[in-house]
Amino acid sequence: MLHSFYPVLPDIGWLERLVPLGIKLVQLRLKDASAEEVVRQIGESLALCRAQKCQLIVNDYWRQAIALGADYVHLGQEDLAAADVSTIRAAGLKIGISTHDENELATALAVDADYVALGPIYETKLKAMPWRPQGLARLGQWKAAISCPLIAIGGITLERADAVYAAGADSIAVVTDLVTDPNPEDRTRRWLSLHEMDTAQ
Q: In Å, how far from its chain's centre is CA 16?
A: 17
Cis amide leading into 120 (omega within 30): yes
Instruction: For 55-69, give the DSSP string.
Output: EEEEES-HHHHHHHT
Is 29 marked active-site? yes
**46 to each of 6, 19, 50, 57, how far by Cα in Å?**
16, 11, 6, 9
Measured in residues, the chain has a length of: 201
Catalytic residue (choose from 4, 98, 143, 187):
98
Catalytic residue (choose from 29, 94, 138, 187):
29
Q: What are phi and psi of 23, to 5 degrees?
A: -65, 135
Catalytic residue (choose from 40, 50, 53, 127):
127
Q: How many C-beta neighbours within 10 Å does residue 156 have?
A: 24
Is 127 marked active-site? yes
Q: Which residues belong to the active site? A: 29, 98, 127
